[in-house]
Amino acid sequence: MRIPGFRVPGLVPALCPVLTVLFCLVLIPAAPAAGQQAPFTLGDALARARDTSPEGAAADARVEAAQRAVDVSGRLLNPVAEFRWENWGSLAPAPGLPPDVFATLTQTVELGGKRALRRDTAAAGLGTARAGASVARYLLSLDITRAYMEA
């Protein structure tokens, strides 16, 4: 092995066994013995349950869906553009009906506080979803704690 700018013949091969021994002395006390396992604490059990619980994931998904509903609830309704052509079979200058062409643009305007009611309903749904997620986390913690104490 060659280190640029550092040329002492035989130094690196001579240091390799010393560095290997020092490295092993540092790592051996840090590693647990082969037969020993770290104790599984209640905190470990709760953390693992929170990370892998399908109920928790479902509750989080409900909160996210409710948040997205709040985000879109205050938006205005989409405008509608319509292009219509009637009597198109009578294009020839015959004594039939002349063709009619219509182009319309419509925007719905909500009256009576419907938009505010929609926003308030979505906000209430978000509060309900957050409360449900909190209850689900509490019940999960309660079940894990009971199972840990029984074990």
Q: Which of 7-11, 48-52, 60-64, 142-146 has the lowest mean pLDDT?
A: 7-11
pLDDT for residue 22 is more than 50: no
Burial class (CB in 10 A: 0-12, 13-18, 19+), 125: middle
Return the number of other C-beta atoms located less than 10 Å from residue 126's C-beta.
21
**Domain map (residue ranges) of the chain:** 39-76+110-150
pLDDT for residue 91 is more than 70: no
Return the number of other C-beta atoms located less than 10 Å from residue 58's C-beta.
13
> Tell me: the pLDDT tens digits for 49-77?
989 999 999 999 999 999 999 999 989 88
d(CA 85, CA 105) in angstroms, rounded, equals 15
Give pLDDT, residue 24.
Answer: 47
Which conformational region is residue 5 in: left (phi greater than 0), alpha (psi within -120 to 50 degrees), or beta?
A: left
Whether 135 and 127 have beta carbons less than 8 Å apart is answered as no
Give pLDDT, residue 71.
Answer: 95
